[in-house]
Amino acid sequence: MKNKFLPRLYLRTVAVVAAALLLPASGFSHVGNLDQNGGHYYGNSYHCHLGGCEMPDTFSIGRRSRDGIFTNQRAREKFFNTDDWSFEEDYDNDCQSTRQEMLILTSRAEIKYTNPRNCVVRTGEWLDEYTGKTFNVAVQVDLDHVIPLMYAHIHGGDRWQQQKKLQFANDPMNMVLVEKREIRRKSDRGPDRYLPRKEFQCEYVSLWNAIAEKYDLNIASRDKNEITKILRDCSPE
Judged against a pLDDT cut of 60, whether residue 31 lies above it is answered with: no
Per-residue pLDDT band at 223 (split at 50, 70, 90): very high
Judged against a pLDDT cut of 70, whether residue 196 lies above it is answered with: yes
Residue length of the chain: 237
In this prediction the pTM is: 0.73
User: Counting Cβ atoms within 10 Å, is residue 83 exposed (0-12), middle (13-18) or buried (19+)?
Assistant: middle
Distance separating alpha carbons of residues 213 and 219, to the nearest angstrom: 10
Distance separating alpha carbons of residues 11 and 87, to the nearest angstrom: 20
More confident residue, 91 or 221: 221
Q: Pick the closest to residue 84 from 44, 30, 41 (CA basis).
A: 41
Question: H helices of the chain, where?
Answer: 7-13, 73-77, 98-106, 149-154, 162-169, 180-186, 201-214, 221-232
